[in-house]
Structure 1
Amino acid sequence: MKHLSLAIIGDIHGFWTSVDTEYFSKSEYDAVLFTGDLGTYSTESTFRVAQEISKIRKPCYLVPGNHDTTSLFQLLAEILHLPSFLTWPSLPWHLRRYSRFRKELGNIRICEYSLHREIAGLAILGARPLSMGFRMNFLPFLRKKFSVSSVADSVRRLDSLGKEAAEAGTDVLVLAHNGPAGLGSRASDIWGCDFRKEEGDFGDADLATFLENAVSCRRAPNVVIAGHMHHHTKRSVLFRIWKVRKSGILFINAARVPRIFRDAEGVSWHHHVRLTRKDGVWDAEAVYLRKGVEEVFPLPKLLEREKTSVQEGD
């Protein structure tokens, strides 16, 4: 089986420079994968980052996040759990922003309820776009674009794609914005909630059900990649677990936010995750570029703790 090396970029939230564009363009990665949330609360910031990453001279894949194409009003409506009929009037503007978003991304492949087989020996399955975690989000958009109105609808779409991917006889990688439920309810767990006193599991139910179905049918994906729940939790000094193995699946949360930052000595670092397949085995490691150059050893203690915040299971 061919050796593969993929770069995973977690939620960008505006933290992208020409240093990143050149590094990934000149790298030996076979492809670059993005978990979404390119901008902040401004759609213009999203479009700016989309323009920049479209310049990468490598195959790129992206699943849209909840900050991509949505308005501040829509985000607040989801946070407050307002009825979806209140956001229906904003759908035409949402669709216009979505159209421009796709245009700014150029040749980047959009992964949303879709299957991509351009990489030899690998099928990339795009999960539900625009997820904010815990519940179904932006239903007017999902109904209009994908005929998805419920968790059950979403599971059916994912099951169909999973079956098609399994029939191709290749390894399968799921690219989502938020990860599945069922991997822990502590603030420090891979998709645990860190902004509520009671903590809790903030993973997606539809993705979790799809994975349960896939495991029971012996066609589980090899890797599930997502972001959304940021690595640095709001619980003081807790570090989020960003890599987990369970039921034969490698789960990765790549959302180190901010992904460009300075250490205590003022040195600039750029974060991404390196995903590799070697001799049929998938694994991942956190990579820190020091001033745009491959990681330098020894890493600062804080970064070493981040890098090793993983949970190895079966």
Structure 2
Amino acid sequence: MLSALVHPPTLCSPSGSPPNPLSKNIVTRASMATASARSSARIAIVGDVHDQWNLEEDTKALELLQPDLVLFTGDFGEENVELVQSVAELGFAKAVILGNHDAWHTKQFSGKKKDAVQLQLECLGEEHVGYRRLDFPVVKLSVVGGRPFSCGGKQLFRQKLLSARYGVQDMDGSAKRICKAALGAPEDHLVILLAHNGPTGLGSNLDDICGKDWVYGGGDHGDPETGKICGPLVVFGHMHKQLADGNGLRKMIVVGADNTIYLNGAIVPRLRD
């Protein structure tokens, strides 16, 4: 059983300065029940960062929240290795998926030197869950990663990177890698899918959780293979809450017919001063 309480935390500094960048992100409380016992875990979801990250200040915000686990949905910057290294240094249990902006310039891996995508992956190590599973026994959670570098829709973004590192050539291959990663999760663990973009099938209106807000008439911009994994909670970003052209706000949480919770953490303004 999974229940979720979702709200953007209102964190301000004592001096009254603007809220910490992390205050735009989401916190969810996930509860698990088994026949023998009941436990709960607090999860902090850090939506698309887009260069808005300060290790010292955001650590303070997380210390106030006291999460058991922090999930990052990617898009840290346009291959911002220094920022990703800072995220890797965060002293909380965490799982990360890289987004399309994290492979913004690199179309294929360099054979001569380590490019920025390789450096980001090295910084994160096993905490990058693209096509793999990371178990957290203390809170009985397993995080399964979706397709790295996703930009949504039918396009397999950065196919050369996916092929070289993961052996993925198409959407079917991507789906198989995600399913394989989910196999073997401990039976008493709740499985969370962490992806950069959400799945198809959640609506095609402009303001739907994965709806195209930049095209007249909308459309479903979800990842075709992400919905093939069943689990009580699917966490992603990419589709910003603020819609294009001032068309309002996006739906950020959906509960499916099977009670799966789909949670979009991308509460990020498209424009900044």
Give the conservation status (yes or no) of the 8 Å contact 1:114–1:125.
yes
Identity among equivalent pairs (%): 28
**Equivalent residue for 2:161?**
141
Cα 1:240–1:98 change in 2 (3 A) is same
| Aligned equivalent of 1:158, options 163, 178, 191 | 178
Cα deviation for residue 13 of structure 1 reads 0.2
Q: How big is each residue's C-alpha offset from its partner over 1:99-152, in whole Å with a ceiling of 9 and x where there is no partner?
A: 2113444x6711100011124321110111000000211111111111110111
Q: Report whether the alignment pairs 1:258 with 2:269.
A: yes
| Aligned equivalent of 2:131, options 67, 88, 113 | 113
Cα deviation for residue 251 of structure 1 reads 0.4
Q: RMSD between aligned alpha carbons?
A: 2.4
**Equivalent residue for 1:84?**
none
Cα 1:158–1:201 change in 2 (3 A) is same
Cα 1:102–1:152 change in 2 (3 A) is closer
Q: Report whether the alignment pairs 1:201 with 2:220.
A: yes
Q: Matched residue pairs, number?
A: 231
Q: Report whether the alignment pairs 1:30 with 2:40.
A: no
Q: Report whether the alignment pairs 1:192 with 2:211.
A: yes
Determine helix, strand or coil for the equivalent of 2:109: helix
Moved more, 132-141 or 151-160: 151-160
Determine helix, strand or coil for the equivalent of 2:70: strand
Cα 1:10–1:144 change in 2 (3 A) is same
Partner Cα separation in structure 1 for residue 146 and residue 175 of structure 2: 10
Give the conservation status (yes or no) of the 8 Å contact 2:98–2:149.
yes
Determine helix, strand or coil for the equivalent of 1:164: coil
Cα 1:127–1:243 change in 2 (3 A) is same
Structure 1 segments, 4+ long, off by >3 Å, are 258-262
Give the conservation status (yes or no) of the 8 Å contact 2:200–2:220.
yes
Q: How big is each residue's C-alpha offset from its partner over 1:34-64, in whole Å with a ceiling of 9 and x where there is no partner?
A: 000001x3x3xx2232133233221121001
Alignment of 1:1-314 (within 5 A): 1-17=38-54, 18-25=56-63, 27-39=65-77, 41=78, 43=79, 46-71=80-105, 87=107, 90-92=108-110, 96-105=115-124, 109-119=127-137, 120-135=139-154, 136-165=156-185, 168-208=187-227, 210-211=228-229, 220-246=230-256, 247-258=258-269
For structure 1, which runs of at least 5 residues remain unmatched after alignment?
75-86, 212-219, 263-314
Partner Cα separation in structure 1 for residue 118 and residue 134 of structure 2: 20
Q: Which has the higher contact order (CA 8 A, sep 6+)?
A: 1
Determine helix, strand or coil for the equivalent of 1:23: helix
Q: How big is each residue's C-alpha offset from its partner over 1:181-234, in whole Å with a ceiling of 9 and x where there is no partner?
A: 0000011000101011131000000112x14xxxxxxxx301000000100001
Cα 1:27–1:113 change in 2 (3 A) is same
Partner Cα separation in structure 2 for residue 169 and residue 207 of structure 1: 23
**Equivalent residue for 2:35?**
none
Q: TM-score if structure 2 supplies the norm length?
A: 0.77
Cα 1:164–1:152 change in 2 (3 A) is same
Determine helix, strand or coil for the equivalent of 2:100: coil
Partner Cα separation in structure 1 for residue 126 and residue 175 of structure 2: 25
Partner Cα separation in structure 2 for residue 25 and residue 47 of structure 1: 24
**Equivalent residue for 1:296?**
none
For structure 2, which runs of at least 5 residues remain unmatched after alignment?
1-37
Partner Cα separation in structure 2 for residue 160 and residue 248 of structure 1: 23
Determine helix, strand or coil for the equivalent of 1:61: strand
Partner Cα separation in structure 1 for residue 237 and residue 158 of structure 2: 18
